[in-house]
Structure 1
Amino acid sequence: MRPIPVDDPTDPRLAPYTAMRERDLVGREGRFIVEGEVTLRVMLSEGARFRAESVLLAPERMEGLAELLADRPEGVPVYVAAKAVMSAVAGFPIHRGVLAVGLRGAEPSLALPPAPAPGLVVGLVGLTNHDNVGGLFRNAAAFGADGVLMDAATCDPLYRKAIRVSAGAALTVPFARLPDGAALLAFADAHGLVPLALSPAGRETLTDLTPPRRALLLLGTEGPGLPRELMARARTIRIAMAPGFDSLNVATAGALALHHLAAGRLG
């Protein structure tokens, strides 16, 4: 299928891309936006969990992506528009010249290998920063976690910026959303996962912890951290730091903890 040129920002075929910045936070009728070459390549790869509906490119990006687009799934149109047109559609200046619309499909669930096989899941509680959520999905992919669970308050990992920060991992790492922290603990109990709550107030030091064979790593928002009632029902761990300092960005702290917990699974 040849690329389809579009020179009118009001063309109805570009409607899913309209006013991206304003509409990203509230969803797009089962759609989401992917931005940039790295995430487009992930979206069109065999490992992606979501299907592309269309691609929108600036003309100068066509040559470098020609081979990728030639192998795209049947029925995925590629629209080509000047950056000025793309910017008018999106509602802000487009610099990368690469956009795509993905289809969410049914609300995903998280399937784990049954015990006694090893298992490692990341649990996010109250994380409302898209950079942190994207970073944690990237960490989960890098250290071979089986998936990510989120409570209702955690932001959407398919928000455009979260996907970009995750380097596309939000499109490949299995995830599911549960109502609250108690539901995450119930999931851990049902699947034989040891709940590990990461907090500066943790009773055990991460480096002294023998990684459980199956674990749920719980991470809370920066500042308030994990709810006290959730920590009371979990094994609490902390990362040792220099005297007088006990704070790390949650994505950084999560990376350190995941590396330690996954050490026996990494090549």
Structure 2
Amino acid sequence: MTGHPTSPPDDEPPPAAPAPIRIETIDDPRVAVFGNVRDRDALGQRGVFIAEGDLVVRRLIDESPFDTVAVFVAEPRLAPLAPALRRLDPGVPVYVAPRGVFEAVVGFHLHRGVLAAGRRPAQRSADDLLRSIGDNTTAVVLLLEDLTNHDNIGGLFRSAAAFGAGGVLLTRRCADPLYRKATRVSIGTTLTLPFARCADAPEGARTLREAGFEVVALTPAPDATPIREWLARGGAPGRVALMLGAEGPGLSGAALDAASARVRLGEMVGADSLNVAVAGAVAMYALRSGDRGDRAPTL
């Protein structure tokens, strides 16, 4: 099943949305996949992930490579979502319930009133990510070391998509980009921006370097070169992998040793560092504003 059917010819009317299947009781097994969403987020759910909110669900249906397994909406949200639902494969069920039943199934108040289950893909490797980037000679990727905060993961994906990054490589200890909160914070870009896993930052850095990327560590260390100064000296003329570490510990010594350059954001007043999602966005903006030939920001 998929959320990406073939578009009809211009002279044919658009397909009708799948007929909604009404859910009247909270124990209906057809919506079990959406039951107690928070608990399922915490425990993990083999084979599927949950997308929340109109925008994220639309991106799952229209833009992502992932199959849509099912959609579950509160009654008032059905009509606004109908245009996207028309683009679903006819075999994908769309369940609709009164607001009270919907929230009882989900397990908490969800004001957006829209959920979808997507089929979780097989884990991708760094080599898979590189194939998706292709021969782009000015590609930028993020290399994230052990970021466990879902808000930061989602924020970095959102910024990476906005500034035209080619993808994200995460170490195995990083939080799941398909976790519901990460996907929501990213406004669905974790569903559209290619990502992959590596064992650790040195391994990821080595793979990217062999593919022609300059691996640049972003660190608040005082001996790091301000990023504007580094760019002015001719840094990052081609492919760049921007490496970011978790808040608090930052990048490990092994990760810093694997980098070909260490940069910082420059002088700041009132704080010694920024939130990693904000710092990553600022650094990506600096890379984008350096006339590297990338496409313009899209968000």
TM-score (norm 2): 0.85
Contact kept, 8 Å, 1:195 with 1:218, in 2: the verdict is yes
Secondary structure of 1:216's match? strand
Secondary structure of 1:23's match? helix
The Cα of 1:199 is off from its aligned counterpart by 0.5
The separation in 2 between residues aligned to 1:43 and 1:113, in whole angstroms, is 21
Inter-CA distance 53–136: structure 2 relative to 1 (3 Å threshold): same
Partner of 2:246: 221
Partner of 2:218: 198
Secondary structure of 1:222's match? coil
Contact kept, 8 Å, 2:26 with 2:101, in 1: the verdict is yes
**What does residue range 113-124 of structure 1 map to in structure 2 within 5 Å?**
113-114=133-134, 117-124=137-144
Inter-CA distance 84–230: structure 2 relative to 1 (3 Å threshold): same
Secondary structure of 2:258's match? coil
5+ long unaligned stretches in structure 2? 1-17
Partner of 2:145: 125
Bigger Cα displacement from structure 2, 167-176 vs 207-216: 207-216
* Residues 176-212 of structure 1, C-alpha deviations (whole Å, 9 max, x = no match): 0111112111221221111100000152111112233
5+ long unaligned stretches in structure 1? none
Partner of 2:277: 251
Inter-CA distance 49–116: structure 2 relative to 1 (3 Å threshold): closer
The separation in 2 between residues aligned to 1:194 and 1:136, in whole angstroms, is 20
The separation in 2 between residues aligned to 1:22 and 1:149, in whole angstroms, is 27
Bigger Cα displacement from structure 2, 123-132 vs 225-234: 225-234
Contact kept, 8 Å, 1:48 with 1:172, in 2: the verdict is yes
**What does residue range 24-39 of structure 1 map to in structure 2 within 5 Å?**
24-39=41-56
* Residues 188-242 of structure 1, C-alpha deviations (whole Å, 9 max, x = no match): 1221111100000152111112233111100001111000121122111000123
Contact kept, 8 Å, 2:219 with 2:264, in 1: the verdict is yes
Residue 51 in structure 1 maps to residue 51 in structure 2: no
Contact kept, 8 Å, 1:125 with 1:218, in 2: the verdict is yes
Contact kept, 8 Å, 2:206 with 2:258, in 1: the verdict is no
Paired residues, number = 266
| The one of 237, 259, 270 aligned to 1:212 | 237
The Cα of 1:27 is off from its aligned counterpart by 2.1
The Cα of 1:21 is off from its aligned counterpart by 0.4
Secondary structure of 1:48's match? coil
After superposition, the CA RMSD in angstroms is 1.5
Q: Calculate percent identity across the aligned residue pairs.
A: 43
Residue 242 in structure 1 maps to residue 262 in structure 2: no
Inter-CA distance 91–243: structure 2 relative to 1 (3 Å threshold): closer
**What does residue range 1-267 of structure 1 map to in structure 2 within 5 Å?**
1-45=18-62, 47-108=63-124, 109-110=128-129, 111-114=131-134, 117-201=137-221, 203-210=224-231, 211-234=236-259, 235-243=261-269, 245-263=271-289, 264=292, 265-267=294-296
The separation in 2 between residues aligned to 1:116 and 1:61, in whole angstroms, is 41
The separation in 2 between residues aligned to 1:113 and 1:31, in whole angstroms, is 25
Bigger Cα displacement from structure 2, 105-114 vs 174-183: 105-114
